[in-house]
Amino acid sequence: MTLRKKTDVIDLLIFLLISLVLTIMLFLIYNQLITARQVYDNVAEEQAALSRDQDRLNQLVLLKDRVGEQQERMARYDHLVPQSPEESSLLNDIKVAASYCGLQLAQIQLEERINGQDYVEMPFKFTLKGRYQSLLNLLVEMENSPRAIRIDEVNISKDQENGPDIEAEIYASAFYTAGD
């Protein structure tokens, strides 16, 4: 072989070797870019998941902070709508409130109970004698009562025996939970 052919073969081999090395380098760079992109995407997904988890944790912390408040609300609800009729307590509360407001309680009568979906309505009526302003005070007391009482009707008439006094007949309902 001549020197020229040997040089051409060597040049060709060098060219092929350089081409092969460049191709391998480009392939490795491409693989590194693909891997880097996948890592970047994975990091972005993990950051999004971390952000969602942090938001959820913040919500849970808020709920934890509200547990006491919710327990207070439940205790108030249990008192507003007890689990049993507690008739004697209800009647005593009405007697005490009437007396406190300066009214004479003439009669209390419990009516037939009405079953609701999750509660029982306990209608009652009572008759009072006294001053009109005292009646208004009693209605405010009943509105602010620790037990839920709905006033359905108030009938007022003049008490013929006691001059400026009135006689009031109040129809109302108290409630308690059913079946617990």
Give the whole-angstrom CA distance, residue 37 versus residue 115.
Answer: 66
CATH of domain 87-177: 3.30.70.60
Q: What is the pLDDT of residue 179?
A: 60
Q: What is the pLDDT of residue 168?
A: 93
In single-letter form, the type of residue at position 3 comes to: L
Provide the mean pLDDT of the chain: 89
Beta-carbon contacts of residue 177 (< 8 Å; ≥ 6 apart)? 81, 82, 83, 118, 119, 120
* pLDDT tens digits, 18-50: 999 999 999 999 999 999 999 999 999 999 999
